[in-house]
Structure 1
Amino acid sequence: MAETLGDLNTMLNDLSRASQQVGLRMNMSKTKIMSNAHVPLQPVIVENTALEIVDEYVYLGHTIQLGRSNFEKEVNRRIQLGWAAFGKLRAIFSSNIPQCLKTKVFEQCVLPVITYGSETWSLIMGLIRRLRVTQRAMERAMLGVSLRDRIRNVEIRRRTKVTDIAQRVAKLKWQWAGHKVRRKDGRWGPKEWQPRTGKRSFGRPPTRWTDDIKRVAGSCWIQAAQNRGTWNSLQKTYVQQWTSIG
């Protein structure tokens, strides 16, 4: 990470030179450049190769992107990966084994794929609804029913007994938020991160990661999270605000 592309160019060439000294080489086809609106774009040359400039990329299983729709694309990607995992297990879900076993497989092999990295999402109602629609479709597939059968969602959930995905996502984020502000290992946290300021774009401001947390724990949520007992007592209220969405 650098303030300017010139600094980044110098850093990458130093990295390439140091790597070669120990018998390693950078993979230029996998090395990408991404910048925000504050940096004018220009070619970055490393080993006589111009690195590709991209708007987004996948890093450690998570889509990295600058802009307003950062988490929407990641949610769509997680849903696609979830369906891929579901498809690989379709033979199990369509078999005659007890529903309790199907539910266990679903919660251990499919839900974690969809909710991977959800601790970092800025949650909004639209994303939660999209996740729940996906989960309901998978539950219907497990039961071998369709929308034409006109079975209520509460009845489908009574049969499958799977954990609501909104509940899972909300719990993961709440637990991670508390862990994040309590750790004392020197890593970046909300106290250290100071984003650049500038003129805001037109329209409704994007939802911040802390907005839904502050609605429950207040503006002093960081202080509240220091006490595990207090933080855990607020978790139910936080989860409820997302699970109550239809």
Structure 2
Amino acid sequence: MAKRNVNEMSFLDHLEDLRWHLIRATLGVLIAATLAFIFKTFIFDVIVLGPTSMQFPTYQWLCKMSKIVGVDTTFCAQEFPFIIQNRTVAGQFSAHIWTSIYAGLVIAFPYVLYQLWTFISPGMKTNERKNSRGFLVIASFLFFTGVLFGYYIVTPLSLNFLANYSVSAKISNEFDLSSVIAIVRSSALASGIVFELPIVIYFLTKVGIVTPKILRTYRKFALVIVLVLAAIITPPDIASQVIVAIPILILYQVSIYISAIVVRNQKKRQNPKT
């Protein structure tokens, strides 16, 4: 069946088209989630619980760096001073189900983005589709880069601090499984979303909501927001906050550059002789 012209489609036709794109995206996530569910041992022992072991690559690297500069740190400990427990009857099964779903979302992200793109792109002009040709690749790259940053940087820094923090020697840490999973999940997904900032700025500039001038004017405020955000999601030490803040600031600067390119291209199309 030939694809209908988007201009000839009614509102209900668009809703029907959107419904099928959402169905296909959901099926993609479910297939990926099923694979994650099957490979339970790898997902939990290697990925989810990986940052709870002092053999995790981030701890090993930070331990080497601390020895080079001659600083005592908890990154060189043999093991974490806590145990992980499951406190509810269906806790492990629920953790298995929901972790598989979130893993499916991460794995199938490019396919979900593709379904969204194939729904939106028919309504775009030919030159707009041409200029946005690398959207899927760039958006997926930024998302997975953010997920890896959250997993290898934010998660171990946060977990190490919280595991070694104590208000009294009389209290021992016995973390619930759902709490540990929540730290890994939120750190990875939040970072993945934050790393999409250049893509968001690109589209906001395209529709005229954001300009390079606005971004430069509020850069100081953005710096403060970034530092506050870094202080919230990382341990309260300067080194950890700087490690998290630097890539976000770089993304903001890249967003300004992207916004400037979009505005310049728009001016060239409006004044082709200039």
User: Which structure is higher in helix share?
Assistant: 2
